[in-house]
Amino acid sequence: MPEIPDLNVFSANLTKRLVGKSLTAIHILVSRKIKTTEADFDAALTGQVLTAVKRIGKQLFFEFGQNHLLGLHLMLYGSMHWYEGKNENKFTIVELLFSDGTGLAITDWQKSVMLTLDPVISPVPDAMQMPDGYLQSALKKVQSRSKRY
């Protein structure tokens, strides 16, 4: 499972390569864990310019024009692969095609990758940007032990 440092690197590399490009197509090949239809993803994102790729918690968020977000949780075995032309990657869940011909295949042999359109972002602070005193304040409200055996 990608951890926070991995996701930070993914976010930086995706930003360098894709921000400023338009999404020309999205193809959902396995919809088992996806609760939105491909038509809804297509209507919201196709033709939109990618403006940012950010990590929040263990998810990546692709920000597009028109205020749409594409949330990606790679779960345990999810991975991302660049391709040009035809996608030859096994176990592809979703293909994202961009205006420069770059393709991003999101794969997972367990088919557990979660993709969401305009997800609600948790109000809980990110582990890497937690405000001073947050844990003390939050834990004062809890009466049970933090770890039970």
* pLDDT band (50, 70, 90) for residue 146: low
Q: Is the pLDDT of residue 40 over 70?
A: yes
Name every residue whose Cβ is closer than 8 Å to that of residue 104 and which is 6 or more positions away in sequence: 14, 18, 80, 81, 82, 83, 95, 96, 98
| Distance in angstroms (rounded) separating the CA atoms of residues 41 and 117 | 7
* pLDDT band (50, 70, 90) for residue 149: low
Query: What is the share, in percent, of the chain residues with pLDDT greater than 70?
Result: 97
Residue 64: which of 123, 106, 21, 107 has the closest Cα? 21
- The per-residue pLDDT for 126 is 73
Higher-scoring residue by pLDDT: 132, 90: 90
Q: Is the pLDDT of residue 53 over 80?
A: yes
User: Which residues is 92 bridged to in the sheet?
Assistant: 107
